[in-house]
């Protein structure tokens, strides 16, 4: 018998089966059921569709004419750009700076990573207080420095900024840790050799660090883009129902709004299908652009 036991692959399938069943039951079946539901009339949450919509694709034509869908797609796109530059960009900057200090690097790592461990809902409530109109921290500070009129940070003019700032801030630490790990893998000898050749610190970063971090940055960007499509709890806590004037909807929050608040469940299903398609398309584009290199 001996080593032959490893050639028998059958037990492997047995061990894979529970996970496979789990995926079927909780991911693939609901996904395909969701596609069917998006074409049916559903009375209310928790009930199944009994009759088909007329025409069956009516929810999809509605997607094309719904102004809020356009708003949510536009905002999601902005959120994607913000996450790429705001999260990965700032994380890279912070990581490079921390990499260049001799003492206290661990403290900064902990400090920057800390927001990740706080729930997004709690952060939403926290930033709600910070941006509060009447007694919010920022308006109090502005008043202290002599400003007469309060700023409504959640008004149409400022809403996107107020919503995206905490989202950006929360995940900087996550990418920071990934990039710092990547930086630690770059050999010190390369920097020493460059220094002997007379390269400035900036040049060393540009010609050594950034190229060698390419794959790490690609991973970060892919994670950031796919993550931006899933952002939900913090924006919903701060700006429920797309407040104000439905200007802050993201694809996720709009789907939730239609399903849970408006209770147009089948239209919510159609929005979910749209989000999946958007996710697949965007991640393929990002993967094509930020292809990892073999060194």
Residue with smaller CB distance to another protein, 91 or 238: 238
Q: Does 147 bind another protein (CB under 8 A)?
A: no
State which of positions 236-275 bind another protein (CB under 8 A).
240-241, 243-246, 260-264
Cβ-based burial of 197 (10 A; exposed 0-12, middle 13-18, buried ≥19): exposed
CA distance 289 to 282: 11
CA distance 279 to 285: 10
Least Å from the CB of residue 170 to another protein: 21
Contact with another protein (CB under 8 A): which of 4, 8, 65, 135?
135
CA–CA distance from 201 to each of 187, 198, 206, 252 (Å)?
A: 15, 9, 9, 43
The length of the chain, given as a count of residues: 295
Least Å from the CB of residue 259 to another protein: 10
State which of positions 75-134 bind another protein (CB under 8 A).
128, 132-134
Site size for another protein, by CB under 8 A? Answer: 29
CA distance 228 to 79: 6
Least Å from the CB of residue 68 to another protein: 10
Establish whether the linkage from the previous residue to 204 is cis, with ω within 30° of 0: no
Q: How many CA atoms lie within 13 A of 62 on its CB side?
A: 17
150-189 footprint of another protein as x/- string (CB under 8 A) = x-x-xxx--x------------------------------
- Which residue, 97, 50, 17, 5, is CA-closest to 265? 50
Least Å from the CB of residue 59 to another protein: 13
Residue with smaller CB distance to another protein, 237 or 251: 237
What 3-state class would DSSP assign to 52?
strand
Residue with smaller CB distance to another protein, 32 or 133: 133
37-76 footprint of another protein as x/- string (CB under 8 A) = ----x-xxxxxx----------------------------
By CB under 8 A, name the binding residues for another protein: 41, 43-48, 128, 132-135, 150, 152, 154-156, 159, 240-241, 243-246, 260-264
């Amino acid at each position: 018998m001996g080593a032959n036991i490893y050639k028998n692959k059958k037990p492997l399938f047995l061990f894979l089966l529970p996970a496979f069943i789990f995926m079927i039951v909780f991911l693939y079946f609901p996904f395909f059921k969701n596609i069917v539901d998006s074409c049916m009339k559903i009375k209310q949450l928790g009930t199944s569709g009994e009759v088909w919509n007329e025409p069956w694709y009516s929810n999809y034509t509605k997607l094309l004419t719904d102004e809020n869908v356009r708003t949510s797609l536009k905002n999601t796109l902005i959120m994607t750009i913000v996450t790429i530059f705001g999260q990965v960009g700032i994380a890279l900057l912070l990581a490079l700076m921390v990499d260049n200090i001799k003492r206290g690097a661990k403290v900064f790592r902990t400090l920057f990573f800390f927001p990740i461990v706080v729930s997004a809902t709690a952060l939403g409530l926290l930033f709600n207080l910070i941006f509060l109109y009447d007694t919010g921290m920022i308006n109090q500070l502005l008043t202290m420095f002599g400003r007469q009129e309060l700023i409504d940070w959640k008004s149409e003019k400022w809403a996107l900024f107020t919503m995206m700032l905490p989202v950006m801030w929360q995940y900087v630490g996550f990418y920071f840790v990934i990039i710092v790990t990547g930086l630690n893998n770059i050999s010190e000898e390369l920097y020493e050799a460059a220094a002997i050749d007379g390269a400035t610190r900036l040049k060393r970063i540009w010609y050594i660090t950034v190229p060698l971090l390419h794959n790490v940055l690609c991973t970060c960007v892919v994670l950031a883009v796919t993550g931006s499509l899933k952002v939900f709890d913090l924006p919903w806590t701060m700006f429920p129902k797309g407040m104000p004037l439905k200007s802050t909807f993201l694809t996720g929050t709009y789907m939730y709004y239609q399903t849970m608040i408006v209770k147009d469940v089948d239209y919510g299903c159609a929005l979910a299908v749209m989000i999946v398609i958007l996710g697949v398309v965007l991640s393929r584009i990002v993967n094509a652009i930020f292809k990892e290199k073999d060194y």
